Amino acid sequence: MSNLTLWSPRALAVLRIVTALLFLEHATMKFLAFPASMPGMENGLPPLLIAAGVIELSAGILVTLGLFTRIFALLASGEMAVAYFMAHLPKTFWPALNQGELAIMFCFVFLYLVFAGPGAWALDNVLGARRAAPQP
């Protein structure tokens, strides 16, 4: 089991990178219509969805890179909590019926990253090492 513990920072990094890239895809759908346009938004995005897209774009990129991970993971987690309560919960209580599972999952994975940090392969680690190094 100690070998698994040794790989823990790398597994956390994979979770961070994959989650952030999937989150980024929601921004590209809103702003670039890639890989497809966001359903129901043929007449443009309302201001609240533009704000959500900005959070998805910035958090998606920065969390993927592992830069300012905790701050942007907190923003993303909050956005997903708001999205769930505004868009999914009013339909019905059960997440499987209101299509809110993904919002809940994003919310809690990003919340976990707030506390766990970025794991391996993160620019936060490089910046932290520079700050900790003695200045000449």
pLDDT tens digits along 28-42? 999 999 999 888 777
CB atoms within 10 A of CB 1: 5
Query: Which structure tokens are listed for 128?
Result: 């932290």
Each residue of 37-94: pLDDT tens digit? 888 777 788 999 999 999 999 999 999 999 999 999 999 999 999 999 999 999 999 9
Domain locations along the chain = 2-132
Q: Does the predicted model carry a pTM greater than 0.85? A: yes
